[in-house]
C-alpha cells in the first residue's frame, strides 16, 4: 500500500483540529505510520483553517505534494472549493452543505460563489454531499457535525469502526460520548 493523502478544510469553530486528531490516532492504532499538519493560525471563529493527514507503511513528510490529495473533507463549501486544486483528478470530496460567509463577503467586498458542488463535479471530482448540521441537529447536538462528517469519511478509509469509536470516546467529553457515537453512525449511514 502506498500513502493515502487526506485534506480537511473549514473555518474556525467547526472542530477541524479535533477531527484531524481523531483521524491521526485511528490510523496510528490501525498500525500505519502517520503524519499530519494543521494550519490553525487563522482559526478565530470564521477564519479559514485546513489540515492534512498522510498514512501508509512509510510516510516521510507531513506535507502532501501538490495535486496528490486522495480525499478532501470539506467542512464548509467555499473552503472545500479553495483546497480542491490540491487534489488528484477523480479524488473524493466529502462535501458538507454548509455556507459560512467570510469577512470579505460580509463587508460586501466579495461575492460568495454559487453552485460550488456543481463546480467540483465539473472539475472531475467525486463529490459525496451531506448536510452534517441537519443530521447533528436531529441528534440534539449541532456541535457533533464534525463527527457526522468523520462517519462519512470513515466509509472511504481502511479502518475498523471499533477503532473509530474507541478514539472518539477518548477524545470527546465523557458526557457527550453517546451523542458523538450516534453522530458518527449517522454519518456512516448518510
On the question of pLDDT at 1 being above 70, the answer is no
Specify the pTM.
Answer: 0.92
Burial class (CB in 10 A: 0-12, 13-18, 19+), 186: buried
CATH domain 4-133 topology: Pyruvate-ferredoxin Oxidoreductase; domain 3 (3.40.920)
Measured over the CA atoms of residue 112, residue 114, residue 118 and residue 121, the dihedral's sign is negative
pLDDT score, position 102:
76
> Quick count: other Cβ atoms within 10 Å of Cβ 162?
9
Task: Express each pLDDT in 20-59 by its tens digit.
Answer: 999 999 999 999 999 999 765 555 556 788 999 999 999 9
Residue ranges of domains in the chain: 4-133
pLDDT score, position 42:
54
Residue 46: DSSP 8-state: T
What angle is formed at CA 33 by the lines to CA 188 and CA 167, rounded to 5 degrees? 40
Task: Express each pLDDT in 117-139 by its tens digit.
Answer: 999 999 999 999 999 999 999 99
The residue with cell 498500525 is: 31
- Rounded mean pLDDT of the chain? 92
Amino acid at each position: 500500500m502506498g500513502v493515502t493523502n487526506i485534506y480537511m478544510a473549514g473555518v474556525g469553530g467547526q472542530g477541524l483540529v479535533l477531527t484531524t486528531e481523531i483521524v491521526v490516532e485511528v490510523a496510528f492504532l490501525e498500525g500505519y505510520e502517520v503524519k499530519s499538519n494543521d494550519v490553525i493560525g487563522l482559526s478565530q471563529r470564521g477564519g479559514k483553517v485546513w489540515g492534512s493527514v498522510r498514512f501508509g507503511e512509510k510516510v516521510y513528510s507531513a506535507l502532501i505534494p501538490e495535486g496528490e490529495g486522495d480525499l478532501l473533507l470539506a467542512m464548509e463549501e467555499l473552503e472545500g472549493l479553495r483546497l480542491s486544486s490540491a487534489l488528484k483528478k477523480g479524488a473524493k470530496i466529502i462535501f458538507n452543505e454548509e455556507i459560512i460567509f467570510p469577512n470579505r463577503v460580509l463587508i460586501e467586498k466579495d461575492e460568495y460563489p454559487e453552485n460550488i458542488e456543481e463546480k467540483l463535479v465539473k472539475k472531475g471530482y467525486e463529490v459525496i454531499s451531506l448536510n452534517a448540521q441537519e443530521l447533528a441537529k436531529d441528534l440534539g447536538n449541532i456541535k457533533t457535525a464534525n463527527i457526522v462528517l468523520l462517519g462519512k469519511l470513515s466509509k472511504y478509509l481502511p479502518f475498523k469502526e471499533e477503532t473509530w469509536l474507541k478514539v472518539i470516546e477518548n477524545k470527546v467529553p465523557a458526557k457527550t460520548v453517546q451523542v458523538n457515537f450516534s453522530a458518527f453512525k449517522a454519518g456512516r449511514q448518510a
